[in-house]
Amino acid sequence: MPIENHSLVNELPEYKDQIHELKMNDENFRRLFEEYHFLTHEIENIEKEIVLASTMEEEEFKKRRLHLKDTMFDMLRKAKDSEATA
């Protein structure tokens, strides 16, 4: 059963404006965001036992989601730093 809301805005609320901006203007970020959202949905379905998957598959999804989050976090941090220096 899912314990937390893993939406990107919930995970990184201080970057809400940058998430919106990059989703609208950066194709790479938007692609990563969509994959993150898809994986989060799949993981939630596995945890709710709506979709059957092995523990190994679930762990691989979670690792991929964490990698995406780290990648997007770097992009968001750079976007926020750019705004601060502009």
pLDDT at 1 over 50: no
Token duo for residue 35: 């994959």
What is the residue extent of each domain of the chain? 8-81
Q: What is the mean pLDDT of the chain?
A: 93
Range name among 3-7, 20-24, 29-33, 42-46 with the lowest pLDDT average: 3-7
Phi, psi (rounded to 5 degrees) for 3: -100, -30
Angle at which helix 16-25 crosses helix 27-47, to 10 degrees, equals 120
pTM, two decimal places: 0.88
pLDDT-above-70 percentage for the chain: 97
